[in-house]
Amino acid sequence: MPFYCTFFQGGLTISLLSRKKLSPFFPKQEVPVTKTERCETLTDAALGLIIREATNRAANFVRLERFVFEREPKCSYDGTLTDLVTSADRAAQAAILGVLQTTTPSYGIVAEEEDLRIEPKESSWPKRYWIVDPLDGTKAFGRMQSHGIGTMIALLEEKHVISVCIEDVMTGEIYYFRPGSYKVHRMDRVGARLRLDLLDPTRPLSDQYLLVRKNPWEFAPAIRQKFIPRADRKQNLFKDFEIEGGSIGLSFARLWKGEIGGVLLLGNNPNQPWDWAPVMGISERLGYVPLRLEIQDDRILKALPYTIDIYDVQAPGCPILIVHQTHIQTVSDWFHCSQDHDA
């Protein structure tokens, strides 16, 4: 039976059976998949449509519960009940699973809620996993913010990210690349698109802002001295800095769009795959690299390229700076030249 994709105003609907049995936009799981080997014949373009549809459905469910939802406390990384899970998280994850398990039943799934992990079928090769963050920025959603709320899905083949789709729930913009393509697109609700891989990332860091994902006072003094502008220094590495929480995916989207020149992370949280697979999947495609800032005796000694292993959930243990690869030498030179001015 052929694979069909049909477009409606709210998105595309995927059917593995026939044109007469297309699912409605919010379907109950009523269309069976009778042959699990069907997913092994999906083209790269079809997988791209699947990841976009799953992300879009999740975003629609989040929007439906924007003002009326249930919430309950959840353990954070440090073991305290300071995190949050909502009914929108669960509804969005259920919508994603409905698409992915129907269309690619032999793929594995790793998802945030309930720490879901489904292994791929033993007969499938190569091993592929969907990595799912159904609601990225749950605390922002809980505050009913109008920004900083997204949904993220990545597709892994062995340890390589081969497709990513991140949607801004509020604006409907998506950041996306499909399997088999190195084109990274920024797309809006009506289909207008921009190639992010064609943007010029070489503008001097001294003309750009640094985005900080935590209160600067949580960082070591050496980090604050380096990145907060100082009157006694003729030039700073970055023009200034901004503080932003909410969706980590949408924070990085500002980097990919050229709105900011770098992202600074505290590095004390575990590398959860549903955060890092989508973010680093696009970042690596666009040439952005994480630098590990090694600190000793209140001085930054080195800024070394750092490989984030999405299968290793251990916290990096030191701050991480993400910049474009064309700026690595600038960062290294600046650290070296400014050592004598940090006392």
User: What's the CA gap between 339 and 202, in Å, rounded?
Assistant: 25
Cα-based distances in Å from 168 to 137, 178, 248: 10, 18, 11
Asked if 190 and 211 sit in the same domain, the reply is no
Quick one: which H or E segment has residue 331? helix 328-338
Contact 308, 318 (CB under 8 A): no
- Which among 196, 231, 247 is the end of a domain? 196
Question: What pLDDT, on a 0 to 100 scale, did the predictor assign at position 73?
Answer: 80
pLDDT band of residue 343 (cuts 50, 70, 90) is: very low
Q: What is the dihedral of CA 215, 217, 221, 226, to 10 degrees?
A: 40
Please give the single-letter amino acid code of residue 133.
D
Task: Specify the range with the lowest mean pLDDT, choosing from 128-142, 198-212, 220-234, 267-281.
Answer: 220-234
pLDDT band of residue 324 (cuts 50, 70, 90) is: very high
User: What's the CA gap between 332 and 338, in Å, rounded?
Assistant: 10
Asked if 137 and 278 sit in the same domain, the reply is no
Please give the single-letter amino acid code of residue 134.
P
Provide the token pair at 326.
């064309």
What are the pLDDT digits (tens) for 122-142?
777 788 999 999 999 999 999
pLDDT band of residue 339 (cuts 50, 70, 90) is: low
Contacting residues for 171 by C-beta, under 8 A, at least 6 apart: 188, 189
pLDDT band of residue 287 (cuts 50, 70, 90) is: very high
Please give the single-letter amino acid code of residue 329.
Q
Question: What pLDDT, on a 0 to 100 scale, did the predictor assign at position 65?
Answer: 95
Q: Please, what is the Cα angle at 62 between 58 and 68, to 5 degrees?
A: 155
Question: Would you say the pTM of this structure is higher than 0.75?
Answer: yes
Q: Which domain holds residue 229?
A: 205-341
Question: What pLDDT, on a 0 to 100 scale, did the predictor assign at position 247?
Answer: 95
Question: What pLDDT, on a 0 to 100 scale, did the predictor assign at position 310?
Answer: 59
What are the pLDDT digits (tens) for 13-33?
444 333 333 333 334 434 343
Asked if 261 and 337 sit in the same domain, the reply is yes
Asked if 169 and 221 sit in the same domain, the reply is no
Task: Specify the range with the lowest mean pLDDT, choosing from 90-99, 217-226, 235-244, 324-333.
Answer: 217-226
User: What's the CA gap between 93 and 32, in Å, rounded?
Assistant: 19
- In percent, how much of the chain has pLDDT > 90? 51
Please give the single-letter amino acid code of residue 292.
R
Q: What CATH number should be reported for the domain holding residue 263?
A: 3.40.190.80
Q: What CATH number should be reported for the domain holding residue 80?
A: 3.30.540.10
Asked if 266 and 128 sit in the same domain, the reply is no
pLDDT (mean) for 75-81: 64
Question: What pLDDT, on a 0 to 100 scale, did the predictor assign at position 299?
Answer: 66
Asked if 188 and 249 sit in the same domain, the reply is no
pLDDT band of residue 217 (cuts 50, 70, 90) is: confident
Task: Specify the range with the lowest mean pLDDT, choosing from 7-11, 68-72, 78-82.
Answer: 7-11
CA 159 from chain center: how many Å? 16
Asked if 254 and 281 sit in the same domain, the reply is yes
Please give the single-letter amino acid code of residue 61.
F
Asked if 27 and 176 sit in the same domain, the reply is yes
Asked if 163 and 223 sit in the same domain, the reply is no
- Which among 161, 196, 231 is the end of a domain? 196
- Which among 175, 196, 217 is the end of a domain? 196
Asked if 140 and 47 sit in the same domain, the reply is yes
Arithmetic mean of pLDDT over the chain:
81
Asked if 127 and 214 sit in the same domain, the reply is no
Domains in the chain: how many in total? 2
Question: What pLDDT, on a 0 to 100 scale, did the predictor assign at position 29?
Answer: 38
Asked if 138 and 217 sit in the same domain, the reply is no
pLDDT band of residue 84 (cuts 50, 70, 90) is: confident
pLDDT (mean) for 99-126: 89
Sheet harboring 193-195: ordered strands across? 116-118, 108-111, 128-136, 150-157, 160-168, 174-177, 185-187, 193-195
